[in-house]
Amino acid sequence: MKNSVEIYDTTLRDGTQGEGVSFSVADKLRVAEKLDAFGVHYVEGGWPGSNPKDIEFFKQAAKRNWRSTQIAAFGSTRRKNVAAKDDPQVKLLVDAKTPVVTIFGKTWLLHVKEVLRTTPRENLAMIGDTIRFLKRKGKKVIYDAEHALDGYRDDPEYAMATWLAAEEAGADFVVLCDTNGGALPSEVAAVTTAAREKLSCSVGIHTHNDIGLGVANALAAVEAGAQQVQGTVNGYGERTGNCNLTIAIPNLSIKMGRRTVPKASIGKLREMSRFVDEIANLVPDRRQPWVGGTAFAHKGGMHVNAVQKVAHSFEHASPGVVGNKRRILVSDLAGRSNIVMKAQEMGIRISNDTPQLKDILARVKEQEHLGYDYEGAEGSLALLIRKALGRVEPAFHLEAFHVSMRGDTVEHVCEATVKVRVGDKTAHTVADGDGPVNALDHALRNALREFYPALKKVKLTDYKVRILNGGSGTAAKTRVLIESTDGRERWYTVGVDENIIEASLQALLDSIEFRLLKK
């Protein structure tokens, strides 16, 4: 269809060339299945000639039924002066038993002469021979024209000759690759237009993000007639990454009105993005457009006030269209609307007419001035608001605590003692820990579990410390952010003090109180 753009995912091959990205065979199969369910047209599984892992992936993939996607094996043209049928690497591409084979070949004379050390004529033969051989084997062949932009810039006539050689040999797609990632959208559009004018086969685009234009270049190519976009989930890839499909897909579908993946899949884009990050064991990029945690986050008071009245006044699209959600941040930049919308988001009944609203806002700004940060500590913020509204009674009172350390030069242990009161009863406990905060955490929960059994499931999962005024030496003010979980949900609390133990205790107390408040 004229208005359609095929999505070609290379997360499992090109994406794994990114630093810190690695998938097992099982991981690759899970990601491929997720992309298949999402509706991606092609999933490039790897290079069968490069490692045993990819060979095993293709064996497993051949046993599965793929609903939406076609699995592609990736490789290169035949070696110079070797027939395609006799090239072991080309044979492995056939043995992978994939319906699609993608091969790359040289466009840039620099690579032909200095890297391959062959003649321009032999390079054309390598391209044509390999594609004809694969077509005779019944494969759909996608030809990736490596360094297409650099090669065309250097010698347009020879670059075009390589693409025509691929087309004449039967390539289903000629894909223009900005392998070095240094082209500008205007150049990509011009080269794509030139290719479309000369070629009868379909044209695709494969971009890298070395100057931050990977997605922009892909969109420019589509506007110039490209019918396939290659990229990776979350932009994984060598150096600074590839065209990011989690950005390209919604831009193509929502902004440009092109048919890409099924419409219902667009609403699962954030879920798919987070799934692949999880499999790759990478922390999701909060600032990623469309799917990131801050993509639809509002902080400035005037902005939030406008969003409260008319959401699209400060949002280019509805967050839900990609499965994301709006977030209201509360800080010293907040206005009343920030407090109202954030409180409502947390399930607290409040409106612009709530009498305590002015005092809540003043309290937040005062606390932020002292060093508190409620953007990442919604548990503490919820307690602050509820206490100001008079809607929460303290579940317990900490009457005393003591922390000490004992040991020698080899081993040491921290000990915490706490005394808490619940109603007219008290509990006095002692606990050891790997450090003072760990010991306090154990002692507090041990003391309170008798009264609140739900705390047995609560544990501290992350602990971050930031020095707020480093020039003050050991008297510096410290901010502590704590992440806690009960196995189902996570919440975050904050404490600030010159004494790191006191700051940690504040965050710990808020964590426990917030959990009890939720119950």
pLDDT of residue 317: 86
What whole-number distance in Å separates Cα of residue 150 and Cα of residue 186? 14
Average pLDDT of 293-304?
A: 70
Which backbone phi and psi does 90 adopt, to 5 degrees?
-70, -40
Contacts of 342 (CB under 8 A, 6+ apart): 328, 329, 330, 378, 381
Residues linked to residue 478 through DSSP beta bridges, in sequence order: 467, 497
Domain ranges of the chain: 6-261, 297-389, 397-518
Q: Is the pLDDT of residue 333 over 60?
A: no
> What is the dihedral sign for C-alpha 256, 213, 323, 517?
negative
pLDDT of residue 410: 74
Tokens of 111: 């690579």
DSSP output for 304-322: HHHHHH-GGGS-SS-GGGG
Nearest to 437 by CA among 403, 486, 390, 398: 403
pLDDT band at 97 (very low <50, low <70, confident <90, very high): very high
Each residue of 180-198: pLDDT tens digit? 999 999 999 999 999 999 9
Query: Coil, strand or helix: which one is 57?
Result: helix
pLDDT of residue 301: 63
Name the pTM for this structure. 0.73
Each residue of 238-273: pLDDT tens digit? 999 999 999 999 999 999 999 999 999 999 999 999
221 CB neighbour count, 10 Å cutoff: 32
Class of CATH domain 6-261: alpha beta
pLDDT band at 293 (very low <50, low <70, confident <90, very high): confident
pLDDT of residue 471: 57
Residues linked to residue 463 through DSSP beta bridges, in sequence order: 482
Residues linked to residue 459 through DSSP beta bridges, in sequence order: 485
Q: Is the pLDDT of residue 450 over 90?
A: no
Question: Count of alpha carbons within 13 Å of 493, Cβ hemisphere only?
Answer: 23
- Placement of tokens 């939720």 in the chain: 518
Tokens of 5: 């753009």
**Rg for the chain (alpha carbons), in Å?**
29
Query: Coil, strand or helix: which one is 455?
Result: helix
pLDDT of residue 151: 96
Class of CATH domain 397-518: alpha beta
pLDDT of residue 50: 74
pLDDT of residue 405: 85
pLDDT of residue 383: 85
Q: Is the pLDDT of residue 330 over 70?
A: no
Lowest mean pLDDT among 78-87, 104-113, 326-335, 478-487: 326-335
* 72 sits in which H/E element: strand 70-76
